[in-house]
Amino acid sequence: MAKTETLGILVPTNRHIDHLIGVARAAKKAGKTLLIFFTHGGVLMTQNPKFQELADIASGELSLCNHSWEEFGFSEKPIPHGMTEEDLGSQSRHVALIEKCDRYLVI
């Protein structure tokens, strides 16, 4: 059986959530595995009501920078929908994500 291609997506800003949802939906429809990492202002996207739609599409394939999460004052908030405590990680998780990807996109 052929290996599933993996698309990595870095989200460093709180913009373009509709575009991110569209890319995630298209990638899943094409049978791709997604690995999405939120960092810097991208962690703010997790507070957008539309984030649940993204989490439903890419559940289990989302992670975020714990430093940015804390920097924006979210350390006392619940972990975003579609993520667990284990999905918060450092930039080394981001580097590991890149190594797993066949393609890599910054949105």
Contact 82, 62 (CB under 8 A): yes
- Tens digits of residue pLDDT in 53-82: 999 999 889 999 999 999 999 999 999 988
Half-sphere exposure of 75 (CA within 13 A, CB side): 7
Query: Which residues of the chain fall short of a pLDDT of 70?
Result: 1-2
Read off φ and ψ for residue 105, nearest 5 degrees: -130, 140
pTM: 0.94
Quick check: 17 and 51 in contact, CB under 8 A? yes
Q: Provide the mean pLDDT of the chain.
A: 93
**Alpha-carbon gap, residue 43 to 61, rounded angstroms:** 15
Answer whether 105's CB lies under 8 Å from 9's CB: yes
State the architecture of 6-106 in CATH terms.
Answer: 3-Layer(aba) Sandwich (3.40)
Q: Which of 55, 39, 56 is nearest to 97 (CA)?
A: 39
How wide is the angle at C-alpha 82 spanned by C-alphas 79 and 91, nearest 5°? 65
Q: So where are the chain's domains? A: 6-106
Structural tokens at position 68:
């940015």
